[in-house]
Chain A
Amino acid sequence: MVGDVVASVLPRVTECVVVDDGSGDGTGAAARAAGALVVTHAVNRGQGAALMTGIRCALRRGADIVVTLDADGQHDPADIRALVAPILADRADVVLGSRFLGHAHLIPPMRRRLLRAAVVFTRWSTGLDLTDTHNGFRALSRRAASAIELSQDRMAHASEILERIAALDLRHVEVPVAIRYTDYSTGKGQSAWGAFRILVDLWVSKVLS
Chain B
Amino acid sequence: MTPIQILLLAGLGSGAALTAARWKRGDLRTASACGWGALWASGMVLVAVPEWANTAARAVGVGRGADLVTYVLLVFLLGAVFRLMVVVDRQRREFTALVRELALKDVPPREASPPTHAEESRPHA
Q: Do A and B come from one complex?
A: yes
Majority DSSP secondary structure for residues of A touching B? mixed
The interface stretch among B55-63, B66-74, B117-125 is: B117-125
Contact A56 B100, beta carbon cutoff 8 Å: yes
1/0 per residue A62-74: CB within 8 Å of B? 1111111100000
With contacts A14-B123, A16-B125, A80-B125 known, is A45 near B99, CB below 8 A? yes
- When distances are taken between beta carbons in the complex, the residues of chain A under 8 Å from B119 are 14
The interface stretch among B22-30, B43-51, B89-97 is: B89-97
The interface stretch among B1-9, B31-39, B101-109 is: B101-109
Contact B123 A80, beta carbon cutoff 8 Å: yes
- When distances are taken between beta carbons in the complex, the residues of chain B under 8 Å from A42 are 99, 102-103
A60 at the interface (CB under 8 A from B): yes
Partner of B122, one of A13, A41, A62: A13
A75's closest neighbor in chain B, by CB?
A: B125
B61 to chain A, nearest CB (A): 31
A34 at the interface (CB under 8 A from B): no
Contact B124 A17, beta carbon cutoff 8 Å: yes
A42 to chain B, nearest CB (A): 6
- Of A14, A19, A41, most buried by chain B (CB within 10 Å of CB) is A14
Partner of B123, one of A39, A66, A205, A208: A66
Contact B107 A63, beta carbon cutoff 8 Å: no
With contacts A15-B110, A62-B110, A204-B85 known, is A53 near B100, CB below 8 A? yes
Chain A residues at the B interface, C-beta cutoff of 8 Å: 9, 12-17, 19, 37, 39-43, 45, 49, 52-53, 56-58, 60-69, 77, 80, 84, 88, 139, 151, 153, 204-205, 208
Chain B residues at the A interface, C-beta cutoff of 8 Å: 85-86, 89, 92-93, 95-96, 99-100, 102-104, 107, 109-110, 112, 115, 119, 121-125
10 nearest A-B pairs in the assembled complex, by CB-CB distance? A63-B124, A65-B123, A58-B124, A61-B110, A62-B110, A14-B122, A67-B125, A13-B125, A39-B103, A67-B123
Beyond known contacts A52-B100, A56-B104: 14 more, CB 8 A cutoff: A13-B125, A14-B122, A39-B104, A41-B99, A61-B107, A61-B124, A64-B123, A66-B124, A66-B125, A67-B124, A67-B125, A77-B125, A151-B93, A204-B89
